[in-house]
Amino acid sequence: MSFSASAQQGLTLQDLLPEPNKVPSWIKPGLVAAYKFQGGSGDQTSAGTGQGYQIYVITNIENNMAYGIGFDIFIAAGYPSYSSSIKPLKGVVYLDPKEVQDEVRKAQAAGFPQGMRQETGTAGNNLYYYLLESSDNQSMTRYFFVYDKNGLIQQVRILEKYGDGSSTVINVDLLGVYQTSLPSINTMPPAVKASPSYQLYSSVSLFGGTTSLSNPTPFGTTSYSLAKSTGSILTFSSQMNTSYGSKASKSYGNQYVGPFYIHPQLLKTNSILNIPQIGFSWTVAGRGQYGGILTQVQFSGSPIAQFEYDPNSGLLISCNFPTGGGMYFIAVLSR
């Protein structure tokens, strides 16, 4: 479950938010914002709930937008799932208070488009709210942000309703803001020039961890290619082909990490990222199965995901991480 996964009429959260004019001055690389979230979805016959953590490390500011590495750890029915990616952090970690006020004022004066609604106001204790809603005849998505005078998001409430009668509710609450050190890297890793393909497998965890997986079952392939470069932010196109069909998507990368690479400089230290206040770390764990450098993500003292990289180019060789329900996703470089 992704905090910013909602879309109505093909619109993402970033499409719905005001056009970025500036980034608040306190947003700087190395800042870490951690959130706890709870969510549930269901319809008239079934429902499911879960909870987890979202950790954002700000890495770049480009074209009036802050970007960072987002780590999502979700637990449902006792089983974890994990994902990580570079993403824009406006509406996730911060909003610009004046920008929000100006946007609502202009929208009210012009009249809201059909299906759109915006409000802003005080929420008590020196906090402010921003309500953003998009709907059509079949579905509705509502975001309710609570943020402080500096624009740091304290809470988010998301409600989604669908034409089939199902709905999703997500509650996000700030745990804390921390600082971590990022190495000074000004060059892109060699791997960004690659257009790799991966064989995809699924597996069941035998004993609840990344090192005890059953025989993997192949289920498809995925490939990546560089689509666009905007300063320090790269956009990649990907194509996943499985027995269920094909899916094209896009993802972001920067000089530190991307969907299929890491900068080799980060592999030369024992600790890639360490946030001790919440028990999160990403460390180098030695040699991997395919001769590369094995790295491991840990949370609350337990390993949750593994990534093996080529030490020279930074190209991802293999990875495995949980996807929920005791299942693991495995990708192995094929070319």
For the chain, which residues make up each domain, given as ranges?
13-179, 190-333
Q: What is the pLDDT of residue 96?
A: 92
Q: What is the pLDDT of residue 205?
A: 72
Q: How many CB atoms lie within 10 A of CB 66?
A: 23
Q: How many CB atoms lie within 10 A of CB 313?
A: 19
List C-alpha distances in Å: 139 to 136, 172, 258, 267: 6, 22, 33, 45
What distance in Å separates the CA atoms of residue 138 and residue 164, rounded to the nearest whole number?
8
For residue 313 the two structure tokens come to: 């180019």
pLDDT tens for the 335 residues of the chain, in order = 232 333 333 456 777 777 777 899 999 999 999 999 999 988 877 788 899 999 999 999 999 999 999 999 999 988 999 999 999 999 999 999 999 999 999 988 888 888 889 999 999 899 999 999 988 888 999 999 999 999 999 999 999 999 888 999 999 999 999 999 999 999 999 999 999 999 999 998 754 555 556 688 999 999 999 999 999 999 999 999 998 899 999 999 999 999 999 999 999 999 999 999 999 999 999 999 999 999 999 998 899 999 999 999 999 999 999 999 889 999 999 97
Q: What is the pLDDT of residue 213?
A: 61
* φ and ψ at residue 97, rounded to 5 degrees: -55, -45
- Domain 190-333 annotated CATH 1.20.120: no
What distance in Å separates the CA atoms of residue 45 and residue 41, rounded to the nearest whole number?
11
* φ and ψ at residue 271, rounded to 5 degrees: -120, 115
